[in-house]
């Protein structure tokens, strides 16, 4: 909760003013039963219509004041809560974008989505409730108790005897609530993960007739969430009934004792009427307090999850430079890495790519091709060995500077619902001429101009109104548009036909200038013209050299080439 309190500090003045207004309204509301008792006991006895109207008017004035103050304070509370939750969501989203890939793996994308949405909503509700009920309820509770003690201390003792029982009950039940609601949020994470997976793969699910299977998988996650919510709801739901039972028991005791005291002349009916009204106010205040405790359990669980992300340490700090490294645009020096920290996913990787050169990486699925790209981009840090970009250790290059060197078209990249132009620009200041040149090199300019509105053509979410090959050409256009020093194509031409793929490679070769190109592919045709080709198997380099050299020296490469094109790859 410390993180949440920190976010509330900038709103302290607004909240303080709202609290003062709420106090004024609640005090006015608290005086109404006392005024009624005074009118019934003293004013009516004097039979003065003017006094009755006067005090009746004062009661109306107090009621109007309570109404106005509560409305104003509640509106201020709503505004503070909205502004507060906006800042929390904004910072949480910003921190999420700056998490390292390893941290995202640990949190999971589904959990991060849940924290930004459901958890911030729970915290928002608690902050709003505290401003509305957190002031009013204690004043009604404490003020009501003090006034009833002054009016009839004997009857007040009955009510006071029930309060410790209520507080103990609420405290004991609330202690169980935080871990229960933490489990609820984890179950929400699991359900969101399944929804994300199924939404992304809906076409495959339908094509393979696995709708019922996925429905059953979602149903299991849904039942788990229902079970967690039920356990939390049943546990926390016991608060109100137990509190109501104790309060009603107190009221019965007050009524029973007051009847005898009125009969004996120790009290009067007017005091009993006012006393019962105060008892009702106190009961309402206690109900509010229990609601606050229930909401607190949700808020505490959610605040803890939010704080985990906001306080996540910097996972990839920028290190001090320790001298000039080996020459070359890209250098891997005996690099090894493991995602899980056990067996290496890539091991002892070494190669050098000069400025303006080209590197091809080929190998079976799971051989470590994309892992090398992630290490090059410093999405992860190598466990051993070093990676250099232009003679600088990649760990010593600040993130913005490092990423500005690269143009990347990743294996699982994305397009969003906007124009073709905006998808290529991707929020960057890129001129029209540079954008169209990038699309021309990527072999995308032709199909873009075939649209009636050209580069202004609106794409559906995830580019659903494009073919697979069109999507990949747009992604390559995006990577080229920023005129990068290093162009990374991570299996980004797999959906292109051979003719388009060959035209793309010819355009890159003739127009890339000093740009270094790294191509990860399954096709030999996509890498055969590279200056150097790495052949990977189980995370190790088993062959390195040009196409012709590898056909002679690497049996695995020769087998791939012959299986695809009979060894005769033609542009």
For every residue of 524-550, which 3-state class applies, written as one string? Answer: CCCCCCCCEEEEEECCEEEEEECHHHH
Q: Report whether pLDDT(54) > 50.
A: yes
Q: Is the dihedral of CA 423, 460, 472, 372 positive or negative?
A: positive
Give residue-wise pLDDT tens across range 425-472: 888 888 888 888 888 998 988 889 998 888 889 988 778 888 888 888
Average pLDDT for 382-395: 91
Closest CA to 72 of 36, 28, 30, 32: 28
Give residue-wise pLDDT tens across range 8-52: 888 888 888 988 998 888 888 888 877 777 777 777 777 778 888
Q: Give me the pLDDT at residue 566, please.
A: 63
| Tokens found for residue 426 | 């991707």
| Tokens found for residue 5 | 């309190």
Q: Give me the pLDDT at residue 362, please.
A: 92
Q: Are 393 and 386 in contact (CB under 8 A)?
A: yes
Ranked by mean pLDDT, the top range of 60-64, 281-285, 325-329 is 60-64
User: Quick check: helix, strand or coil at residue 520?
Assistant: strand
Please report, for residues 128, 242, 287, the alpha-carbon distance to residue 245 in angstroms, rounded to integers and kept in the order given: 28, 5, 12
Residue environment code for 365-381, b if the CB has 16+ CB neighbours within 10 A, otherwise e: eebbbbbbbbbbbbebb
Whole-prediction pTM value?
Answer: 0.70
Percent helix, percent strand, percent coil in the chain, to nearest 5: 65, 10, 25
Beta strand segments in 420-515, E:
486-490
Ranking 286-295, 374-383, 515-524 by mean pLDDT, the lowest is 286-295
Query: CA 358, CA 132: separation in Å to the nearest integer?
Result: 64
Q: Which helix (H) or strand (E) holds 158?
A: helix 153-200
Query: CA 443, CA 234: separation in Å to the nearest integer?
Result: 61
Closest CA to 356 of 208, 244, 466, 517: 517
Query: CA 57, CA 50: separation in Å to the nearest integer?
Result: 10
Q: Is the dihedral of CA 61, 67, 68, 73 positive or negative?
A: positive
Q: Report whether pLDDT(90) > 70.
A: yes
Query: CA 440, CA 477: separation in Å to the nearest integer?
Result: 8
| Tokens found for residue 134 | 């957190």
Q: Give me the pLDDT at residue 174, please.
A: 67
Q: Give me the pLDDT at residue 570, please.
A: 44
Q: Give me the pLDDT at residue 384, please.
A: 92
Q: How confident is the model at residue 571 (pLDDT cuts 50, 70, 90)?
A: very low
Q: Give me the pLDDT at residue 565, please.
A: 67
Q: How confident is the model at residue 222 (pLDDT cuts 50, 70, 90)?
A: confident
Query: CA 557, CA 100: separation in Å to the nearest integer?
Result: 34
Q: Which helix (H) or strand (E) holds 519?
A: strand 516-521
Q: Residue 267 — φ and ψ, nearest 5°?
A: -145, 180
Q: Is the dihedral of CA 538, 541, 547, 553 positive or negative?
A: negative
Give residue-wise pLDDT tens across range 340-354: 777 888 999 999 999
Q: Which helix (H) or strand (E) holds 352?
A: strand 346-353
User: Quick check: helix, strand or coil at residue 364?
Assistant: coil
Ranking 32-46, 181-195, 306-320, 490-504 by mean pLDDT, the lowest is 32-46
Q: Give me the pLDDT at residue 502, please.
A: 85
Query: CA 480, CA 426: separation in Å to the nearest integer?
Result: 12
For 463: left if phi > 0, alpha if psi spans -120 to 50, otherwise beta; the answer is: left
Q: What is the DSSP string of 309-351?
A: HHT---SSPPPPP-S---SSSEEEEEEEE-SSSSS-SEEEEEE
Neighbouring CB atoms inside 10 A of 141's CB total 19
Query: CA 39, CA 50: separation in Å to the nearest integer?
Result: 12
Q: Give me the pLDDT at residue 141, please.
A: 79
Q: Give me the pLDDT at residue 560, please.
A: 87
Q: Report whether pLDDT(266) > 80.
A: no
Query: CA 290, CA 126: separation in Å to the nearest integer?
Result: 13
Give residue-wise pLDDT tens across range 509-558: 887 677 899 999 888 888 888 889 999 998 899 999 999 999 988 988 88
Q: For the chain, list the domains and their CATH numbers.
A: 2-310 (1.20.1560.10)
Q: Report whether pLDDT(170) > 60.
A: yes
Give residue-wise pLDDT tens across range 488-507: 998 887 778 888 888 888 88
Give percent above pLDDT 70 in the chain: 96
Q: What is the DSSP string of 375-409?
A: HHTTSS--SEEEEEETTEEGGGS-HHHHHHTEEEE
In the 8-state DSSP scheme, what is residue 34? Answer: H
């Amino acid at each position: 909760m410390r993180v949440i309190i920190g976010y509330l500090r900038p709103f302290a003045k607004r909240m303080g003013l709202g609290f003062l207004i709420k106090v004024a309204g609640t005090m006015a509301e608290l005086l109404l039963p006392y005024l009624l008792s005074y009118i019934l006991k003293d004013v009516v006895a004097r039979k003065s219509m003017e006094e009755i109207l006067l005090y009746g008017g004062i009661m109306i004035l107090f009621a109007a004041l309570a109404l106005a103050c509560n409305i104003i304070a509640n509106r201020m509370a709503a505004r503070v809560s909205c502004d507060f939750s906006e800042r929390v969501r904004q910072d949480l989203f910003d921190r999420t974008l700056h998490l390292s890939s390893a941290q995202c793996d640990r949190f999971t994308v589904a959990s991060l989505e849940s924290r930004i949405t459901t958890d911030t909503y729970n915290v928002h509700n608690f902050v709003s409730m505290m401003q509305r009920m957190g002031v009013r309820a204690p004043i009604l509770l404490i003020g009501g108790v003090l006034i009833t003690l002054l009016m009839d201390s004997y009857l007040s003792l009955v009510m006071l005897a029930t309060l410790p029982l209520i507080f103990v009950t609420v405290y004991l039940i609330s202690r169980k609530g935080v871990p229960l609601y933490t489990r609820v949020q984890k179950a929400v994470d699991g359900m969101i993960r399944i929804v994300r997976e199924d939404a992304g793969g809906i076409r495959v699910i339908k094509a393979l007739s696995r709708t019922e299977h996925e429905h059953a998988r979602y149903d299991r996650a849904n039942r788990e969430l229902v079970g967690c919510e039920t356990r939390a709801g049943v546990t926390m739901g016991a608060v109100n009934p137990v509190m109501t039972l104790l309060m009603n028991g107190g009221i019965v005791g007050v009524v029973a004792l007051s009847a005898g005291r009125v009969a004996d002349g120790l009290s009067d009916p007017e005091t009993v009427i006012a006393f019962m009204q105060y008892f009702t106010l106190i009961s309402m205040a206690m109900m509010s307090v229990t609601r606050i405790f229930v909401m607190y359990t949700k808020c505490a669980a959610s605040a803890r999850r939010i704080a985990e992300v906001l306080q996540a340490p910097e996972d990839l700090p920028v290190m001090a430079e320790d001298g000039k490294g080996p020459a070359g645009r890209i250098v891997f020096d005996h690099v090894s890495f493991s995602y899980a920290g056990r067996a290496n996913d890539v091991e002892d990787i070494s190669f050098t790519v000069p400025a303006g050169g080209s590197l091809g990486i080929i190998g079976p699925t799971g051989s470590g091709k994309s892992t090398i790209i992630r290490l090059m981009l410093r999405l992860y840090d190598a466990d051993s060995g070093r990676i250099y970009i232009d003679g600088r250790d990649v760990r010593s290059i600040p993130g913005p500077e490092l990423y500005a060197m690269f143009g990347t078209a990743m294996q699982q990249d994305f397009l969003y619902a906007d124009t073709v132009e905006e998808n290529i620009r991707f929020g960057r200041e890129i001129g029209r001429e540079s954008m169209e040149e990038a699309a021309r090199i990527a072999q995308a300019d032709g199909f873009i101009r075939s649209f009636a509105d050209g580069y202004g053509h609106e794409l559906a979410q995830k580019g659903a109104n494009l073919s697979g090959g069109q999507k990949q050409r747009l992604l390559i256009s995006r990577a080229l548009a920023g005129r990068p020093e290093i162009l990374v194509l991570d299996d980004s031409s797999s959906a292109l036909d051979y003719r388009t793929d060959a035209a793309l490679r010819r355009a890159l070769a003739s127009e890339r200038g000093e740009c270094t190109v790294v191509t990860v592919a399954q096709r030999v045709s996509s890498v055969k013209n590279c200056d150097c080709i790495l052949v990977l198997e189980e995370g190790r380099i088993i062959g390195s050299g040009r196409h012709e050299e590898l056909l002679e020296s690497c049996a695995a490469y020769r087998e791939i080439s012959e299986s695809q094109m009979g060894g005769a790859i033609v542009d």
